[in-house]
Amino acid sequence: MSSEFAWSAEQVELRRTVRAFAAEVSPQEEVRRLMASPLGHDPAVWSRLGEELGVLGLAADEEYGGAGDGLVSQAVVIEELGRALVCGPLLGSVILGATALGGLSDKAARAELLPGLVAGRTSAALAAPLHRGGFDPAAVTVTATARHSATSPGGTTSPGGTTSPGGTETTGHTLRGSVAHVLDGAAADLLLVAAAIGGTDGGEDGDGDTVGLFAVSADATGLVRESTPTMDLTRRQATVSFNDAPARLLAAAPEAATVLATTAETAAVLLAAEQIGAAQYLLDLSVEYARTRLQFGRPIGSFQAVKHLCADMLVLVEQARSVAYHGAWALDEGTDDPRIAASLAQSVCSTAFTQVAAMAVQVHGGIGFTWEHPAHLYLKRAYTDAALLGSAEAHQERLAQLVLDDAGGL
């Protein structure tokens, strides 16, 4: 990619293709049907996104079924899916799950678990405290205990196990604890869980020295999942509890904390792309309504107050798009501090989306408040998104700390 960002011809065509597909499979009537269904999405549509269009793993390496195109192309897809409120495990499986698995040093685990997510055949959810564009080891609420089996003196080690000096072999781990607000956690085939190994929460200083990343199968014994009521009915969350549930260690400390921190930064940027897609839809919807809705014999778009609202929405959307794609580009190219790029993207895009959603309701007047109008669905998505990975204010505070810390060293 050039030093000055520009859309490639392939990315322009990718946007056109995904927008047409989303319009086909996710009209408002279908969104409302799916958000009231037990699963919350159509597995056939999700599979088509992965296998037919091949857009669920654009940032994943080719050896795992991805395209290796990077985050900018992935952001284009997520923006268009957000524009149409396409129901599916986008956040849990693509933005969080696939990113975490892609960062593992364990090639065998990547080869086993990633292709299913990329193809849309399976889904994942991440149960880990991600706040303000980072991972918070001190907030880990799950503990992992090693399972041992007796061996002969001086014992042998089986594949994936370790033998202690006393002759006992570690054959796996069990997890205990509970995690609330797990995105797409109720229906995920695979749960990726941050847990403190040995029962010490986040290490002595909360620095992640004891935190590991574990995989738990959906059919594991001791796993309990309970759907959580949410404001945004198109985006499912769950409380996930582990009662001595068997788990596979994917990454030990300190790798796990590093992988989760990178996942948080990537998720902040990709969520920002989804937010601008939804905000752009509201802008387009509002402009069209202002052009065609007549009052006192003239389009309401001819009134100064409505003109100002539409102009303000345009400025917010364009500014947010620039920041979001700067973040994706910076993480791809290493041209900016990823912590700053992630928090900047969430700070600007969360604010823009919530403000645009509120303005869209104002432009539409009374009809914008009704259950039947799409504006209220996007308004709820805006306020839910703004809280998922930390509020705009929390990201602004983080930015101030990062910038002032750097300035202090000058």
Q: Determine the pLDDT at residue 149.
A: 63
Q: What is the largest CA-CA distance in the chain?
A: 93
Task: Calculate ∠ Cα 211-399-202, nearest 5°.
Answer: 15
Q: Determine the pLDDT at residue 212.
A: 97
Give yes or no for residue 225 having a pLDDT over 80: yes
Q: Which residue has the higher pLDDT, 198 or 181?
A: 181
> Residues 87-112: what's their mean pLDDT?
96
Q: Is 70 helix (H, G, I), strand (E, B) or coil?
A: coil
Do 78 and 99 form a contact (C-beta atoms < 8 A)?
Answer: no
User: What residue has token string 């090639």?
Assistant: 107
> Residues 354-379: what's their mean pLDDT?
94
Q: pLDDT over 70 for what percent of the chain?
A: 90
- Own/partner long-range contacts of 150-157 (Cβ < 8 Å, ≥24 apart): none
Distance (Å, whole) CA 115 – CA 101:
10
> Residues 15-40: what's their mean pLDDT?
96
Domain 125-253, second-level architecture: Beta Barrel (2.40)
Q: pLDDT over 90 for what percent of the chain?
A: 84
Q: Is 210 helix (H, G, I), strand (E, B) or coil?
A: coil
Task: Residue 122: count other Cβ atoms within 10 Å of its Cβ.
Answer: 20
Give yes or no for residue 203 having a pLDDT over 90: no
Of the candidates 74, 78, 87, the one whose C-alpha atom is nearest the C-alpha of residue 25 is 87
Q: How many CA atoms lie within 13 A of 263 on its CB side?
A: 33
Distance (Å, whole) CA 71 – CA 110:
18
Burial of 107 (0-12, 13-18, 19+ CB in 10 A): exposed
Most confident of 4-8, 239-243, 290-294: 239-243
> Residues 25-54: what's their mean pLDDT?
96
Do 218 and 188 form a contact (C-beta atoms < 8 A)?
Answer: yes
> Residues 130-154: what's their mean pLDDT?
82
How confident is residue 220, by pLDDT bands cut at 50, 70 and 90?
Answer: very high
Class of domain 9-122: mainly alpha
Distance (Å, whole) CA 121 – CA 393:
37
> Residues 105-113: what's their mean pLDDT?
96
Q: Determine the pLDDT at residue 209.
A: 81
What CATH superfamily is the domain 258-408? Butyryl-CoA Dehydrogenase, subunit A, domain 3 (1.20.140.10)
For the CA atoms of 360, 378, 323, 265, what is the dihedral angle to 10 degrees?
Answer: 160
| 391 token code pair | 């509020």
Of the candidates 179, 357, 162, 182, the one whose C-alpha atom is nearest the C-alpha of residue 252 is 162
Please provide the average confidence, as pLDDT, over all residues in the chain. Answer: 91
What would you report as the CA-atom Rg of the chain, rounded to the nearest whole angstrom? 23
Phi, psi of 397 (to 5 degrees): -65, -40
Q: Determine the pLDDT at residue 132.
A: 82
Q: Determine the pLDDT at residue 202.
A: 52
Assess whether the region 9-122 and the region 125-253 belong to the same CATH fold. Answer: no
DSSP track, 347-395? HHHHHHHHHHHHHHHHHHGGGGGSTTSTHHHHHHHHHHHHHHT--HHHH
Give yes or no for residue 165 having a pLDDT over 50: no
Q: Determine the pLDDT at residue 309.
A: 97
Q: What is the residue extent of each domain of the chain?
A: 9-122, 125-253, 258-408
Task: Calculate ∠ Cα 312-341-268, nearest 5°.
Answer: 80
Task: Calculate ∠ Cα 70-72-73, nearest 5°.
Answer: 75
Give yes or no for residue 348 having a pLDDT over 50: yes
Q: Determine the pLDDT at residue 208.
A: 62
Q: Determine the pLDDT at residue 122.
A: 96
